[in-house]
Every structure is written in structure tokens, then in C-alpha cells.
Amino acid sequence: MPSIRARAPTPAAIALERIGAELGRLTQRLARVEAAIGRVVDDAGPASAELVVDLQEIDLARQETEALAHVVACVSRALPRAARVDLEDATASLTLADLAARLAGCARAQPQACDAVLFE
């Protein structure tokens, strides 16, 4: 008979700290994408005004992600210590297994480069 494992609720502050850490990682990733696109545009020569405006969306996404990480950290500090959440349930529908594991506290963030995928 399979063992039944009871879910242990996670302190909400810890859950939000983990979410904030992931937002921080996303902010860093967006900064790298922004820099890479800047190099591509520099190599390609002058960009149209429309392209420049479109590319500014990446910078805005990075800034918004960074701001959300800050808000999550503030909310985390404001929560009562007794507040708990079921992270297993909250992450059950995530299709990114590594992200779900980090949020659940089962894995640490490992710096890793993305595999290069060339478009055909």
C-alpha cells in the first residue's frame, strides 16, 4: 500500500521569499536578454524608431519584474509568522519542474546557461 504523505504547510513569508527570489532571477535573465538584443541591434546598424520602441518593452518588463520582487518582499515581511500556505498545491499545475521544485524548497537555484537553439 502506498504511503500517504501529509502536506506540511509552508510559512507564507518563506513562500513569498522564494517567489521573490524567482522574480529576481527573472529580472537578471531579462537584463541579459536586453543586453544581448542591444548587441545584435548595434551589429545590425541603425534601428527604426518602431523597433526601438518595441525593444523598450524588454526594459519595461525587467523593471516591472524587479518592482514586483520588491513588493513581494514587503508583503512577506508584513505577514504574521503564523500565516501558512500549501505550496505543493500552489505549484501543482506548473509545467516547469525546476521552478516548481525551487518554489517548494526541494531544489536550490543553480546558475546555468540556456542551451543554444538555432532557428532553422
Q: How far apart (Å, rounded) are the C-alpha atoms in residues 93 and 68?
A: 22
Mean pLDDT score, 5-23 = 87
The backbone torsions φ and ψ at residue 97, rounded to the nearest 5 degrees and listed phi first, read: -60, -40
Q: How far apart (Å, rounded) are the C-alpha atoms in residues 11 and 4?
A: 22
pLDDT value at position 50? 86
Mean pLDDT score, 107-118 = 58
**Which sign, positive or negative, has the C-alpha torsion 86, 95, 99, 54?**
negative
pLDDT value at position 40? 87
Query: What letter represents residue 107's amino acid?
Result: A
**Could you report the per-residue pLDDT of 50-59, keeping only the tens digit for each?**
888 888 899 9
